[in-house]
Structures are given as C-alpha cells and as structure tokens.
C-alpha cells in the first residue's frame, strides 16, 4: 500500500477521497496503489463487495472519483487511473484482509527460505498483529510474520465463507 516517488501521502489521500464514494456505491476499498511501470504512473484503486465486483461497479467508481480527484489534485505528475477488482487470487496486505479470510486457502511466498522452501500453501488458521499461522496439509502449523513475506494471496476463492 505504499506509494513510490514523490507524494508519500498520495495513497492515503486518495484512500480518504475514495472510501466515502465507494461506500455510497455499496463498495469497499480493498487497496490503493500508486506505482510506476516503465515511464508511466498508475493510480490503482481496488474495490470489493460481497458477491464480487462487476465491470459496472468499476465504471461507477471511476465516474464517482474522477471529479473529486481532479479537484483535490493530490498527484503532481500525469498518471493513468485504474479501478478494478482485487481478483480471485487477491493479495492479503492489511489486517482486515487477514481477519476476513481466516479459514481460507492461501499461498505464501517468503523473502528468505525456511528449510530450503520459500513457497507454501495452506489454510490461514489465525492472525494477530502482523503474525499469522499457516496450517499446512499435514496439519502442522507454521507461524509467519507479514514482514517475512514477498506476498500472501488467496489460493482458492470458492468455498470461502464471507
């Protein structure tokens, strides 16, 4: 969720603008990213809702946020605005993401290998203040801190109770 380059508060500012607009549309903000890819900057607003996000939700959110973003002008350089769904294999980054998906299948990639292994799959068994337990197929638990991971993603969205 960190922005890169100028405007360290860009993500925070955009989130504050976007959140009430999303709520009015029955949506939640999943994540906001301000990222440079090649020579271009992208402002990506990931939206979510129970039952999934449609293309119409993305269009509605884009229309709702266009003018407020222009008025607030939180970004100095030119950028491309993208409003999208976090997808089936969504990244779990924020505390509320982990809490929402306790009991779900996840994929974890560690920055540094443990016993020669960097990638794990299992069930998100618990979460507490940055630490989570991954229940492996053999039933053993692996305690991991979010800071040790390259990513944590949902593995299988089907069957997840919301």
According to the 3-state scheme, what is the secondary structure of the chain? CCCCCCCCCHHHHHHHHHHHHHHHCCCEEEEEEEEEECCEEEEEEEEECCCCCCHHHHHHHHHHHHHHHHHHCCCCCCCEEEEECCCCCCECCCHHHHHHCCCCEEEEEEEEEECCEEEEEEEEEEEECCEEEEECCCCCEEEEEHHHEEEEEECCCCCCCC
How do residues 51-74 score in pLDDT, each as one tens digit?
A: 889 999 999 999 999 999 999 988
**What is the per-residue pLDDT across 82-91, written as a single tens digit (0 to 9) for each?**
999 998 889 9
Per-residue pLDDT tens, the chain, 162 aa: give them.
Answer: 333 344 458 899 999 999 999 999 999 999 999 999 999 999 999 999 988 899 999 999 999 999 999 999 888 889 999 999 998 889 999 999 999 999 999 999 999 999 999 999 999 999 998 999 999 999 999 999 999 999 999 996 454 444
Which pTM was predicted?
A: 0.79
């Amino acid at each position: 969720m960190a922005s890169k380059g100028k405007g360290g508060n860009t993500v925070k500012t955009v989130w504050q603008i976007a959140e009430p607009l999303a709520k009015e549309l029955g949506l939640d903000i999943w994540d906001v990213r301000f990222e440079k890819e090649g020579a271009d900057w992208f402002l990506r607003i990931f939206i979510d809702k129970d039952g999934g996000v449609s293309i119409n939700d993305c269009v509605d959110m884009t229309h709702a946020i266009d003018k407020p973003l222009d008025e607030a002008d939180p970004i100095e350089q030119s950028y491309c605005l993208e409003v999208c769904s976090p997808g089936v294999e969504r990244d779990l980054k924020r505390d509320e993401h982990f809490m929402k998906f306790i009991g779900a299948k996840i994929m974890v990639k560690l920055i540094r290998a443990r016993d020669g292994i960097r990638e794990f799959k299992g069930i998100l068994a618990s979460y507490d203040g940055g630490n989570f337990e991954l229940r492996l197929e053999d039933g053993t638990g692996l305690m991991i801190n979010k800071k040790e991971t390259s990513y944590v993603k949902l593995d299988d969205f089907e069957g997840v109770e919301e």
